[in-house]
Structure 1
């Protein structure tokens, strides 16, 4: 008879815009199959290469509002004054119950909401090596207009100031190293 699975500890990773949360999460998805990555719902259009149901669940405003009204989201927020993002509750709860290593890669607003509903989760802040590097990453990805970049940089200043709200900080100076540090931390929390 096998042992019953021990509930997993939810790990939440957040950080400022363009710090590389999505890049670190994608690396973990590809190289660390033991980690269960939550897939968020969003009302923003897909970026090049993003796949519905893999990177995000792309939904319209009406469907997103229905999900909020029906209590289907663990957290949700309007980000950068434009698109809505949220974490579907049921898959996260199932991963925790199954003893998986569950990881939420979300924004600061979402992390604050999760702290209210799951205070026993581990909150990890992904930080840039420097402000200049963060600016270079945002400009370099070329997915936003000049106006959107300016708004994201203003948001990033506020988000960086929230670092002290987190349990652990990992500097994303190298994607592979940051991902390995995060996975190692998750595995140590599961023991």
Structure 2
């Protein structure tokens, strides 16, 4: 369904075997989001964001990443975010996991309702 090369490795998502009534939840990069929107224009794309660059850096430090690696990842993240915003229907700040999950669940519910009435999922 989509694939991307990252650090010399290929990553991808195979086309699922489903009947069209199944919801699919994919964790993909911006290139994957563009591919999905092209293949499935009615899909709901949610961009999940870190609360801030500082919190993103701190998460990586806690994982043990060195500063050079963190700097490179943050530069890449900024490019990814800019690209993903081109196709994202909604953005969610992941400050609190339970709240982020609830927001996304609400978006999915609203998209299903709109689609069942023949409407567009819209952009948030």
Q: Specify the TM-score bucket, using the shorter chain as the normaliser.
A: 0.7 to 0.9
Unaligned runs of 5+ in 1: 1-73
Pick one of 42, 51, 55 that aligns with 1:133.
55
Relative to the length of structure 2, the TM-score reads 0.77
RMSD: 2.0
1:133 to partner: Cα distance = 0.8
Alignment of 1:106-117 (within 5 A): 106-117=28-39
1:141 to partner: Cα distance = 2.3
Contact 1:101 1:187 in 2 (8 A): no
CA distance in 1, matches of 2:12, 2:23: 20
CA distance in 2, matches of 1:129, 1:172: 6
1:83 to partner: Cα distance = 2.5
1:111-169 deviation digits (Å, cap 9, x = unpaired) = 11112211111111111111111111122223x56554333222012123235311111
Relative to the length of structure 1, the TM-score reads 0.52
Q: Which has the higher contact order (CA 8 A, sep 6+)?
A: 1
Pick one of 67, 73, 82 that aligns with 1:152.
73
Contact 1:108 1:159 in 2 (8 A): yes
1:84 to partner: Cα distance = 1.8
Alignment of 1:35-54 (within 5 A): none
Matched length? 112
**Hey, which of these two has a bigger chunk of strand by percent?**
1
- Match of residue 15 from structure 2: 89
- Match of residue 119 from structure 2: none
CA distance in 1, matches of 2:54, 2:25: 28
